[in-house]
Structure formats: C-alpha cells, structure tokens
Amino acid sequence: MHDQNCCAANSSHNSSGGSTLLGYIGIDTIIEQMRKKTMKTGFDFNIMVVGHSGLGKSTLVNTLFKSHVSRKSAGWARDEKIPKTVEIKAVSHVIEEGGVKMKLTVVDTPGFGDQINNDNCWEPISKYINEQYEKFLKEEVNITRKKRIPDTRVHCCIYFISPTGHFLRQLDTEFMKRLSHSVNIIPVIAKADTMTLEERQEFKQRVRKELEVSGIEFYPQKEFDEDMEDKSDNDKIREAMPFAVVGSDKEYQVNGKRVLGRKTAWGIVEVENPNHCEFAQLRDFLIRSHLQDLKEVTHNIHYETYRAKRLNENGGLHPISSSDTQESNL
C-alpha cells in the first residue's frame, strides 16, 4: 500500500536494532516482487527415492505430488524383472499449482538391495549424486556463466525402511552412513499399514536409537539449526521421525468423502488421516514447510563441502570460457 507520506526517513543514529521509520516506504513490497519473479521463473526440485523393490516408493511419490510422476508412469509392466545392478532412472515432470511452476525430477534406483550380494550397491547412487555436483561446479566455474544454472543436484533422498518391526538392516545403516554427508536423507518407514500403532512406536524408537548410535545425521540435521525457533521446530520433527507412511493413488468413499486409501477386507486405510499413518505429516514437512530449506541446505552445505574438496584436490580450478577450446584443468 503506497501511502502519500513517502518522506525521507531522517534517522541519523546507526543503531544495530534498526532504525524506526517515520513513514511508510514500501520495503515490504519486496516480498511481493520476489513472489512474482519466482512464479515466472518457476523452480526445480529433485528428489531421489531409495529402497528395496516392493516398498511402495513409486506409489508414495505419486501420492506426494498427487499425480503420476514416478518412473512407473512412463509405461510399466507389473512383472518387470529386477535389474542385475543398481540403475538410476530420472523422470522429470513440470507440475503447476496456484500459478507456481515446479520442475520436479524423481530419481529412482531400481535394483537397490535386491541382489543376493549387495556389496557396494550404494556406489552407483553416490556416483550419481557427485556427478550432479560436478556438473553444477563446472557451470559455476565458467567464465561466461549461464543466467540460470540448471540445478540437477539431488535436494532430498527419501530412504525407505522395511517394516520388519525389529531392527534396521545392515544395508540400511551402511547406506545411510555413507550418504548422510553428501545429501539430505529423510528416512521413512514404508508400508506402515503392516504394523499396529504400538508396534510402530516401538519400531520407531528402536530405529531412532540405532541411527543415533551409528552417528547418522538425517535431515533436518541438528548442526544446521540457525536459531532457537528453527531448533524447536526441528526438534519436534526429529522426535516424530522416521515417519511411518502409506501411499496410495486410488480413491474410495469414506463417510461421504472421497479419500485416497487402500481397501482391505477389514477396513479402508486412509492415507491422509493422521490417525492411520503419518503421510500427511511427511507431506507437510517435505513440501509445505521445508522445501526451500532442503534446497538451501543442499546448496550451501552439501554442495560447498563437495566444492571445497574438489578445489583442494586439484590445487585450484581454471575456469574455461565457452569460446575457448582450451581444456580446463578439471
């Protein structure tokens, strides 16, 4: 609201607490300007799903973004063979909501943990993540940079834990230990409708303890809490993690409403009902409150760690110009 009193703010004292304005300037309109800009440019979000086959990864991603965005959307037969090595399949879609465009990329990892011998099945994944950082680094280091560097870095990795009800598998701890320092890992208990509520609580506690003991820092990491408000919010979330989720893309009629759910012979599991499972919590956390934070942590912390390591390795990077045919020292 632009008022008539856009007079000069005569504040001669440089206090650290900020000076009081004598009239309305209009600085707060910057939020509106930013919003307009973001809506025009849209933004990218890359999410990776990792877990054994049959844990409902693709279904969950479809449910999260309420559309068919998983790799199974592009033609999939139910009896698709399990691949012999871990493959990385990335599928991109542009989805729009409220005028905001988002380019969502879902990176799937079929074949993870499915073989008899699963040694080093995390290597292809680690390599992929580092490759994305490398691509971004190369672009950044160019003399003539593109206006907007395409961001293919993995912002978030959702790791699916099998609902055994007992302990974490060895493969789970190995994977998370190795990757928690290069990407944001969000552990999630898959197919939560296998367990009753008490079993779920017990399992969650055991998993959390095991993660603590192994020193695995999942997102939101404690060390990156910026202030007290963040800390208290994140603490609440950390207490509730890992979320026990159920995914479904079918709708059923319950009490006159149409809800997403799974119909069994003894009842309908409602996906968005907080008494049934924690999908709603996961969705709010992931999309409605921490989406931007995920991107920032990836950019400011994980990417910077990678960059520092690379720069220290080679003793300096030489930027290349796009017109020069000289090869860089990268």
What single letter denotes the amino acid at residue 179? L
Residue-by-residue DSSP string for 44-99: EEEEEEE--TTS-HHHHHHHHTTS--SGGGS---TTPPPPSS---EEEEEEEEETT
Question: If binding is defined by CB under 8 A, does position 79 make contact with other proteins?
Answer: yes
Q: Which of 52, 204, 283, 302 binds other proteins (CB under 8 A)?
A: 52
Given the complex with other proteins, which of 115 and 142 has the nearer CB atom?
115
Block residue for tokens 């921490």: 290
Q: How far is the CB of 242 from other proteins (least distance, A)?
A: 15
Nearer to other proteins, 174 or 233 (CB): 174
Q: Does 119 interact with other proteins (rule: CB under 8 A)?
A: yes
Helix (H, G, I), strand (E, B) or coil at 252: strand
Is 7 or 82 the residue whose CB approaches other proteins more closely?
82
- Our CB check for other proteins shows the closer of 53 and 221 to be 53
Stretch that binds other proteins, among 8-16, 94-102, 158-166, 225-233 (CB under 8 A): 158-166
| CA atoms of 198 and 203, how far apart (whole Å) | 9
Q: Which is nearer to other proteins, 53 or 67 (CB)?
A: 53
Count residues binding other proteins (CB under 8 A). Answer: 41
Beta pairing partners, 92: 105
The DSSP bridge pattern shows strands 100-108 and 43-50 to be parallel
Measure the CA–CA gap between 181 and 185, rounded to whole angstroms. Answer: 9
Among 171, 237, 280, 287, binds other proteins (CB under 8 A): 171
In this structure, the dihedral spanned by the alpha carbons of residues 85, 133, 105 and 285, taken in order and rounded to 10 degrees, is 110
Closest-CA residue to 175 (of 143, 140, 129, 137): 129
Contacts to other proteins from residues 250-289, by CB under 8 A: 262-270, 273, 275-276
- The contact pattern for other proteins, residues 294-323, with x = CB under 8 A and - = no contact, is ------------------------------
* CB atoms inside a 10 Å sphere around CB 114: 15
Under rule CB under 8 A, residue 166 binds other proteins: yes
Residue 51 as a binder of other proteins (CB under 8 A): the answer is no
| Nearest distance from C-beta of residue 92 to other proteins, angstroms | 24
298 by DSSP, 3-state: which?
A: helix
**Paired tokens of 156:** 């978030």
Strand partners, 46: 105
In the complex, the smallest distance separating the C-beta of residue 60 from other proteins, rounded to whole angstroms, is 13
User: Should residue 233 be labelled a site residue for other proteins when binding is judged by CB under 8 A?
Assistant: no
How does DSSP classify residue 327?
P
Burial of 181-211, coded b for 16+ CB within 10 Å and e otherwise, reads: ebbbbbbbbbbbbebeeeebeebbeebbeeb
Q: Residue from 29, 41, 144, 196 that binds other proteins (CB under 8 A)?
A: 196
Minimum separation from the CB atom of position 281 to other proteins (A): 15
Comparison of 163 and 187: residue with beta carbon closer to other proteins: 163
Q: Please identify which residue in 30, 31, 116, 213 interacts with other proteins, judged by CB under 8 A.
A: 116
> Which among 16-24, 163-171, 181-189, 217-225 is the span making contact with other proteins, rule CB under 8 A?
163-171
Tell me which of 38, 85, 164, 201 binds other proteins, using CB under 8 A: 164
User: Which residue in the set 25, 103, 114, 224 belongs to the binding site for other proteins (CB under 8 A)?
Assistant: 114
260 to 64, 74, 122, 269: CA distances (angstroms): 11, 22, 33, 8
Q: Which residues bind other proteins (CB under 8 A)?
A: 52-55, 78-80, 82, 114-119, 162-167, 169-171, 174, 191, 193-194, 196-197, 262-270, 273, 275-276
